[in-house]
Structure 1
Amino acid sequence: MKRFCHFLSKLACALVVTFTIESTVAPITDDSVFSWPSQTVYAKKTAKKAKKAKKKTKKTKKTKKKNTAAIASSWHWKKPKATVYIDLNDNEELISATKDAIDAWNDTKAFTFTETKNKKKANIVIEQVYSPNTNYAGYTTFHYYVKTGIMYSAVTRLNIYYLQNFSPYSYTYQRILNTVEHELGHAIGLKHNNGVSVMYPTGSLYPIEPVDVENVQKLYKE
């Protein structure tokens, strides 16, 4: 009995939470008004308590710029770097866009992605899905430890139904690139941003902007 109680105690300390973010497209033809809903959090009661405590702390800090508010999360990698496994079959366009997005983030010097050929050793896995019955172009799920906020794994899914010629939306290469940059921003730890930002929640309109670099630096306190 004592051993069992000791096991439960250790399990509670190591509780991990899954946080999912949807970047979606609305079923309409006007790209400029695509609607990407806000984040959905799946957490246990302990995670909710931790989140509320962090929110109270955040409210005490004010920012001068509107487009830098509430876009850096409290969860992040231990250091501003992560390994990435690209699992996109032979989809040359998505592979190219993903590698270009990785290069774009690396060029900022704020965060470094390193591609790996070993899926088991990857921090982040990027996959493609064909999902006409869902309303997202990109979807990033990551796991982090509640106590520390340190992330330990993430999966980004790119929905080819919307991104590539399977629907009326048919994204251009630039918009596909913006979408991947957006999802990698979530994998870094950024939330949506309603200003001019790659994290803008509608329509994959912007590439990585200076404000995005600034917020990654703030998140990792560089």
Structure 2
Amino acid sequence: MKPYVICHMMSSIDGHALTDGWDRPFKKTAGELYEKLAETFAFDGWICGRTTMEEIAHGDDYPKGLATAPIPRTPYFAKRDAARYAIAIDGHGKVAWKSNQALDSHVVAVVTEAVSDDYLAYLQSIQVSYFFGGKTDIDLAQVVQTLADELGTRRLIVEGGPHVSGSFVNAGLVDEISVLILPLIDGRGDHPASFEIARERWTQPSYLTLASAEVQDGGGVWLRYKR
């Protein structure tokens, strides 16, 4: 059975997702509210892309030369009974994890079969779980189903970045959209929107139904939509 997938975003009024350049106190308060709202979903796995996970991992690089022989392209699960999983969409194996924990969650890397043997050996050495989402590209439908079948996940929350969120929406995998609209206008044209979909991959608009709208302390508005 497919897990219930929520895409949880934080956005300026003009639709920008990145917070760099925002005042530190404003960003801190917004981030705390965003996480507080996320917890109401009682999820057992949270998903982010490589760029976001690199910020969380705080690692510069991983040691090379660990693989002494080719590593089979089979899943490796160091832990199957975690209360919560941090799932990294990292096709080419770039995130330099320092441990197998991220924000009190067991790390699961989703890579492609094109990843290096050294990277897989490194993940095994620090007991970071991993599995393959495709040969050279990530199949998100396959990823979601594998998480359910192998780890028993039932509620997944996608937290970005914009390209990962856009890809989940474009693949028709999202059951609910949650957006915290913050009381500011970013105005920078080079900042991505909350959902980014490459033109060549775009299929069609996603039409949603408003489920709730709640004004938050500080002037933000929390919008929830269902498919």
The structure that is helix-richer by fraction is: 1
TM-score, L = length of structure 1: 0.25
